[in-house]
Structure 1
Amino acid sequence: MTETHPLDAAEFWEARYRDSGRLWSGRPNKLLVREVSDLAPGSALDLGCGEGADAVWLASRGWRVTGVDISHTALERAAGHAVEAGVGDRAVWERHVLGETFPEGSFDLVNAQFLQSPVEFDQRRVLRRAAQAVAPGGTLLIVMHGGWPSWQSEPPFDARFPTLDGVLDELALPETDWTVETLEAVRSASVSPEGVEGFREDNVWRARRWNG
């Protein structure tokens, strides 16, 4: 999901957060909750953490979380929300331009929710690096929009949405090292800013790295 844009990625996302009082709902992504609630807490990496809703939810469940985003403003808000939720000591925040830099270490959970951008972004490279950061026995969770909402009659720009098989092929996870546990398109209700009801589909990839 990429569009040619006059701003580079850092400028685009910083402006988007800076010019908005709050960009997201503050609630964790539903598919993260569905896929992760059964996992034992450990170390987690939240890529594109935004204002921190997913990271704060993970920390509240006992995970030690590293939240990563490209925007200074988003990270400042995320840190504040973690303190407000009483989990500031369980989360650290790092700024990275994913595709150029990446957090060090390995993690029991690598969470990548909607790593899709209207500006240039090397999604394939970042997702492969995300898989490499999963510790033995750990989980990789990726969720991405599979298309425009049903009510979006005129898409704002041309976009290529990832498919279930397409991303799985790009990840190239060796069957000797990984088990794919979830590969699913999930339809959910969606409402336009004007109040038009409809739906959208999101794709879910969950894979576990073998412990050995």
Structure 2
Amino acid sequence: MPATPPTTDPARFWEDRYRDSDRIWSGNPNPLLVREVETLTPGTALELGCGEGADAVWLAGRGWRVTGVDISATALERAGAHAAAAGVAARTEWQRHELGVTFPEGTYDLVSAQFLQSPVALDQGRVLRLAAEAVAPGGTLLLVLHGGWPSWQGEHDHPFEAVFPTLDGVLEQLALPESWQVVTREAVERPAPSPTGEPGTRVDLVWRLHRTA
């Protein structure tokens, strides 16, 4: 994501973005989340940057007890409404946190961060390390991040520089002990049409990490 001046307030930025439209996201779970989690035994889950709740609702519908976290109160309100409409409100909880400043308490069988990338200030490295610490023994950390711009969009299209992760770079940043196993470490190319409908692709990076003890 493009960097913006550090004076931009993250909470205000995201709240304004959600209030600008009735819905930002599709309402469908992220396909890589579905692929990586559908064979896991349901337990407790923490969804970081849950947005309007599609991933959390999908997890709850499969028996997980989910805590969804986002910086935007508007996003969390929509997530709660989505859960209620799907009949899984009893298996969901919503917490507002500016990740990097505050973080949910407790440990979870699954901690998921899908595209936790922001055009405003976010200490991503610290958040991902806290995410790993929140995984209970025997649990799973699932990370999915954009690996670059879509094929139809270049870095020179933006007024600010962007730094995208690498498969090895994130693992080095996490610095996990030997009690962790790498289950998935993969770059996935997917269709990504432009806003005007022209065809394109984008590469997403996925890590599924298992904490053995």
Asked if Structure 1 and Structure 2 have the same fold, meaning a TM-score greater than 0.5 normalized by the shorter chain, the answer is yes
| TM-score (structure 1 length as normaliser) | 0.97
2:180 aligns to what?
178
What secondary structure is seen at the aligned counterpart in 1 of 2:78? Answer: helix
Q: 1:113 touches 1:143 (CA, 8 Å); kept in 2?
A: yes
1:51 aligns to what?
52
Decide which of 161, 164, 178 is 2:164's aligned counterpart.
161
Q: 1:52 touches 1:82 (CA, 8 Å); kept in 2?
A: yes
Matches within 5 A, 1:197-212: 197-211=199-213
Deviations 1:35-90 (A, max 9, x none): 00010000000000000000000000000000000000000000000000000000
Q: CA–CA distance in 2 between the matches of 1:37 and 1:205? A: 15
2:126 aligns to what?
125
Query: CA-atom RMSD, angstroms?
Result: 0.9
In structure 1, the gaps of 5 or more residues are none
1:195 aligns to what?
197
Q: Percent identity?
A: 68
Q: 2:8 touches 2:121 (CA, 8 Å); kept in 1?
A: no
Q: CA–CA distance in 2 between the matches of 1:7 and 1:53? A: 27
In structure 2, the gaps of 5 or more residues are none
Give the 4+ runs in structure 1 shifted more than 3 A. none
What secondary structure is seen at the aligned counterpart in 2 of 1:57? Answer: helix
The number of residues matched between the two structures is 210
What secondary structure is seen at the aligned counterpart in 2 of 1:39? Answer: coil
Matches within 5 A, 1:1-212: 1-5=1-5, 6-153=7-154, 154-156=156-158, 157-175=160-178, 177-211=179-213
Amino acid at match of 1:205: W
Q: CA–CA distance in 2 between the matches of 1:151 and 1:34? A: 26
| TM-score (structure 2 length as normaliser) | 0.96
Amino acid at match of 2:198: V
